[in-house]
Amino acid sequence: MALAFRLDGGGDGPAAPRAGTLTTDRGEVPTPAFMPVGTLATVKALTPDEVAATGASITLVNAYHLCLRPGHRLIESLGGVHRFMGWSGPILSDSGGFQVFSLARLLRVDDQGVRFRSHLDGSEHHYTPELAVEVQSALGVDIAMPLDHVLPGDAPTPDQRDAAERTLRWFDRSRALDPSPALFAIVQGGVDEDLRRWHALELAAREAPGYAIGGLSVGESKSEQYAITEVACSELPVDRPRYLMGVGSPEDLVHAVAAGVDLFDCVLPTRLGRTGSLFTDNGRVNIKAARFRERPMALDPACDCTACADYSAAYLNHLFRNEELLGYRLASIHNLRYIQRLCERMREAILKGAFDPFAEEFLARYQPANEAARTEQRERWQARSRT
């Protein structure tokens, strides 16, 4: 499947903010771009038209989950995952390496693959790099991820090196199959900067059509996440897209774009939305709080999503207090639109050559859920600005 990437602005160095365009057979994706997560071929509670209306031009599905249920061959027989879920734009699929290691009951990991018991029914499966490619090819996605060996961020360095080397061998086996989707390579290595640098260089030499940075946002500190992202980007080709896997907090996106990341995905915006936690430029707010009970204006007057354009904060508060399904849907739409607008604003700032002041102003105003994280990110940004 054809895949091309061009830089439209920025990119003044290997680890610098950049705006680009990712072109697939099913359409273009302006970057930086966030991919709403449709794990089971659906972004929870939303129709494809609603997802597209948030500004999303690409979505993500999970091969592990779809392989287990309803089965990749069934989806293939029904015309592929695009037709199955009613999404006409590009789709990226995660092989499910993270889910295999986090959800399933592991039985054995070796160079052949992963033997595990399903988290659904306990049935035994042998997931190999070849099967991961077979599943994603059958789904008919535009971009596929190879099977990778994922460890917690605090795993010992010898274990991280073993996993990184195995991920490298698995990628070589996956690529040898010449899959129909564009097959990205995944950089692993935990929080060891030397190991991450080595792995990125090894994969860069293989000239993949794109690169993912995996194994982050799995328990490491924010400062470690930001540092490792920058290290990986500094060794990856500037003419290929970079995808930071599983990261979706607004402040994390700003730091990652500063380091040269192009693509993101995460369940966080919709998962938080269903709990009533909504994004604003000042940080998350709890729409169930009493202060919104009588507020007649929109939650965020600057937001153009349907939740803010058509409804009051008081109405959203009412929906959540009464556990009405519409509240979960509107909150999910708002959070996805907020993240898409953030990507749009970052792209505009990069094209104008004004990303640094944009980021500095945003990070000074945005209050993460954790105050210690806020202090940490502010100090890191100030240190970066001085270099």
Cα 195 from Cα 208, distance rounded (Å): 19
Cβ atoms 101, 111 nearer than 8 A: no
Q: Is residue 94 among the annotated active site residues?
A: yes
Query: Two tokens at 351?
Result: 């094209």
CA 108 vs CA 100, 111, 113, 211: distances in Å: 11, 10, 8, 27
Cα 188 from Cα 167, distance rounded (Å): 8
Q: Is residue 110 among the annotated active site residues?
A: no
In sequence order, the β-bridge partners of residue 187 are: 213
**Edge-to-edge order in the sheet of strand 185-187:** 33-36, 263-266, 242-244, 211-213, 185-187
* CA 252 to centroid of chain Cα atoms: 11
Catalytic residue among 142, 252, 262, 265: 265
Residue 66 belongs to what H/E stretch?
helix 63-68
Catalytic residue among 8, 94, 159, 192: 94
Of the candidates 112, 72, 122, the residue with the CA atom closest to the CA atom of residue 95? 72
Outline where 220-312 has alpha helix (H): 222-234, 250-259, 268-273, 306-310
Residue type, 165: E
113-117 and 185-187 strand pairing: unpaired
Instruction: Using only the alpha carbons of the chain, give its radius of gyration.
Output: 20
Residue type, 323: E
Instruction: Count the Cβ atoms, other than its own, within 10 Å of residue 141.
Output: 29
Residue positions annotated with a catalytic role: 94, 265
